[in-house]
Amino acid sequence: MSTLAQGKADLERASTAQKVADMLRERVLDGELEPGLRLSEEAIGGALGVSRNTLREAFRLLTRDRILVHEHSRGVFVRRPTGDDVRDLYAARRVIECGALRLWNDVSEAQREAVRSPVRQAVARAEKNDFSKTGTANIQFHRGIVGLAGSTRLSDESDRLFAELMLAFRVAREMDAFHQTYLPWNRRIVELLNNGTVEQAVVQLDEYFAAAEQDLVGRLSAD
Amino acid sequence: MSTLAQGKADLERASTAQKVADMLRERVLDGELEPGLRLSEEAIGGALGVSRNTLREAFRLLTRDRILVHEHSRGVFVRRPTGDDVRDLYAARRVIECGALRLWNDVSEAQREAVRSPVRQAVARAEKNDFSKTGTANIQFHRGIVGLAGSTRLSDESDRLFAELMLAFRVAREMDAFHQTYLPWNRRIVELLNNGTVEQAVVQLDEYFAAAEQDLVGRLSAD
DNA sequence: ATCGTAGAATCGTTCAACAATCCAACGATC
DNA sequence: GATCGTTGGATTGTTGAACGATTCTACGAT
C-alpha cells in the first residue's frame, strides 16, 4: 500500500510552474537569492527557459508561501522580514506551538518521538563539535511540536512561518550562532516532557520564544 | 492620517486577477458555485471577459485560500471538504483558538471587546427571533478570539480555515441551524471570561469544538 | 540642490497556437 | 454481459508575440 502511494507521488509529475517554484524556493532559502532582491520576469524566465506566463504562475505559488512579495507593477521581490514581521511571526508561533505542546499526553508515541529525536541528534553532534546541521535540527524540533496537533493545515502554515523566519535570520546574518544558542533550551524542554511535567515544558517554550524574539528583533532593528 | 490611508487603499487598485478572484470567492461562499463544481477556464473566462492566463492567476489565488482545488490537467474545482478535512480543520482551530483565548488577561480592552460584541449582538437578535446573521456573528466571535493573539498571519490563516468550514457547512446543508445551536455556548464562554475564570472558558471552548466537529463529521459521512 | 519631464525598461493583460492530457463513446474480446 | 483497448473530441499546459500602462532613470531647467 505504501509502495503504491509512493508510485503515485512519482506519477503525479509536477507542472512546470511547480518545478520552477521549487527551484526558486531552494535558491532563496539557500541564500543565493538575497532578501530584498527583485526577480525580473525576463531575466529569470530566460535563464530557466520558461515563458513569462509560466514564471508568473511560479511567482504566485511562492507568494502564497510568503517567500516572495508581489508589488503591483513593480515586480516580485525576495521577502525581507522587518522587526514587525518577526513580532507577528513569534506571536503566531507562541500560540501554535505552546498549544500543541499541551497535547503531549494525548498523542501517539511516534508523534512524541518526532519531538525528542531531533534534539537527541543535535546533542550528539554538538558533543563532537559538529554544528553543521544545527539549524535544520532546531527546525525539526519545532516541526515535531506542531505535529503533535495532528493537523496538516497547521503544519503547513508552520512551515511557511519557519521559511519566513529563515529569511529573517539571513537578514540578521546570524543563522548558525542563533540556533546553537538555543539548543540547551530545547534539551531542557524535552527533559521536562519526559518527566511528565508538561506545563513546565510549556513555560520553558514560552520563555524560549520571548528570548528568541527579542534577540532577533534586536539584530534586525540594529540595521 | 486615516484619510490618507484610505486614499492609499483607493490608489492601490487591485489587479484584474485579484478582482476576478474576489468575485469568484464571493460566488463560492454565497453558494452560487457549489462544492465539487468544476470551473472551466473557457466558460468563466468568456463570461467575465478576461483572458485564460489572467483567469488562471485568479484560480491560483483562490487555491491559496483553499477555496478551490487544482488537479493537474483536469482543472480547478470548488473545494468539497471531506470528513477528514473537517477533523484536520478542527484540530487546527482547537490549538489556535484555545491558545489565543488563554491570552485574555494580557491583551487590550479593544481586543476583548471584539470577542464580546458579536455574541451580544447575536443574543439581541435572537431575542427578537431574528436569526438572519447568526452565521456571520458566530464567525465574528471566533475571529475575535483569534485576534487576541495579535498576529495577522494567524488571523489570515484562520480566515482560510473559516472559509473552508463554510464550504463544509454547505455540503452538510445545515448552515443556519448549525450556528444557531451553538450560540448558548458562545454566551457561556463570554460569561466565564467576564468572571475572570479564563481556564474554564478554555475548557468550554474545547468542548464546543468537540461537539461541533462530531456534529459536522456526522452529517458529512452520512452522505 | 530640487523639481519636472522625456525616454527606457518592466509589468499587466490579451491573443493565438500547439502539444499533452483527460474523458467519453465505441467496439473487440473473453 | 462485463471488461478491456482504442479512437476522437474537449480541456488544460505552455509558449511566444504584442501593446498599453506603470515605474524607474537620467537629464536638463529653475
**pLDDT of residue A166 exceeding 90:** yes
Which of A12-16, B35-39, B105-109 is predicted with the least confidence, judged by mean pLDDT?
Answer: A12-16
Residue B162 pLDDT: 96
Which of B43-47, B81-85, B129-133 is predicted with the least confidence, judged by mean pLDDT?
Answer: B129-133
Here the CATH number for the domain that contains residue B40 is 1.10.10.10
Nearest protein residue by Cα to C1' of nucleotide D15:
A51
Q: Are B75 and B125 in contact (CB under 8 A)?
A: no
* CA/C1' separation B59–C18 (Å): 23
What distance in Å separates the CA atoms of residue A92 and residue A164, rounded to the nearest whole number? 12
Residue B2 pLDDT: 44
Indicate if A72 and A113 belong to the same structural domain.
no
**pLDDT of residue B135 exceeding 70:** yes
Residue B1 pLDDT: 44
pLDDT (average), residues B73-100 = 97
Count residue pairs from A and B with Cβ separation < 8 A: 78
Looking at per-residue confidence, does B41 or B9 come out higher? B41
**DSSP H or E run through A71:** strand A68-71
Indicate if A149 and A217 belong to the same structural domain.
yes
pLDDT (average), residues A74-90 = 96
Indicate if A145 and A37 belong to the same structural domain.
no
Indicate if B151 and B195 belong to the same structural domain.
yes
Report the number of distinct structural domains present in chain B.
Answer: 2
Indicate if A176 and A96 belong to the same structural domain.
yes
pLDDT (average), residues A40-66 = 93
Q: Which band of pLDDT confidence, cut at 50, 70 and 90, is reported for residue A182?
A: confident
Q: Are B84 and B54 in contact (CB under 8 A)?
A: no
Here the CATH number for the domain that contains residue A131 is 1.20.120.530
The residues, ordered by sequence, that sit 6+ positions from A150 with a Cβ below 8 Å of its Cβ are A107, A111, B88, B91
What distance in Å separates the CA atoms of residue B214 and residue B206, rounded to the nearest whole number? 12
**pLDDT of residue B3 exceeding 60:** no
Q: Which band of pLDDT confidence, cut at 50, 70 and 90, is reported for residue A7?
A: low
Indicate if B177 and B95 belong to the same structural domain.
yes
Indicate if A202 and A122 belong to the same structural domain.
yes
Q: Of B28, B51, B78, at which residue does a domain stop?
A: B78
Residue A177 pLDDT: 66
Indicate if B110 and B191 belong to the same structural domain.
yes
Indicate if B147 and B68 belong to the same structural domain.
no
Residue B76 pLDDT: 96
- Residue A18: phi, psi to the nearest 5? -65, -45
Q: Of A21, A45, A78, at which residue does a domain stop?
A: A78
Looking at per-residue confidence, does B28 or B180 come out higher? B28
Q: Are A50 and A88 in contact (CB under 8 A)?
A: no
Q: Which band of pLDDT confidence, cut at 50, 70 and 90, is reported for residue A5?
A: low
Q: Which band of pLDDT confidence, cut at 50, 70 and 90, is reported for residue B84?
A: very high
pLDDT (average), residues A187-196 = 97
Q: Are B105 and B115 in contact (CB under 8 A)?
A: no
Handedness of CA B149, B155, B158, B159 (dihedral sign): positive
According to DSSP, the residues that pair with A38 across neighbouring strands are A77
String of b and e for B83-110 (b: at least 16 CB within 10 Å)? bebbbbbbbbbbbbbbbbbbbbeebeee
List of chain B residues whose C-beta atoms are within 8 Å of the C-beta of residue A89: 151, 153
| Nearest CA-CA distance, residue A38 and chain B, Å | 19
Indicate if A66 and A89 belong to the same structural domain.
no
Q: Are B145 and B97 in contact (CB under 8 A)?
A: yes
Q: Which domain holds residue A145?
A: 83-222
Q: Of B60, B78, B96, at which residue does a domain stop?
A: B78
Indicate if A168 and A111 belong to the same structural domain.
yes
- Residue A2: phi, psi to the nearest 5? -70, -30
Chain B, nearest residue to A90 by Cα: B151
- Residue A71: phi, psi to the nearest 5? -115, 125
Chain A, nearest residue to B11 by Cα: A72
Q: Which of A56, A64, A96 has the CB atom closest to B95's CB atom?
A: A96
Q: Is the CB of A75 under 7 A from strand C?
A: yes
Tell me the pLDDT tens digit for each residue of B22-61: 999 999 999 999 999 999 999 999 999 999 999 999 999 9
List of chain A residues whose C-beta atoms are within 8 Å of the C-beta of residue B158: none
Indicate if A93 and A62 belong to the same structural domain.
no
Protein chain A, residues 26-65, with a C-beta closer than 7 Å to any atom of nucleic acid strand D: 49-54, 57
Q: Is the CB of B74 under 7 A from strand D?
A: yes
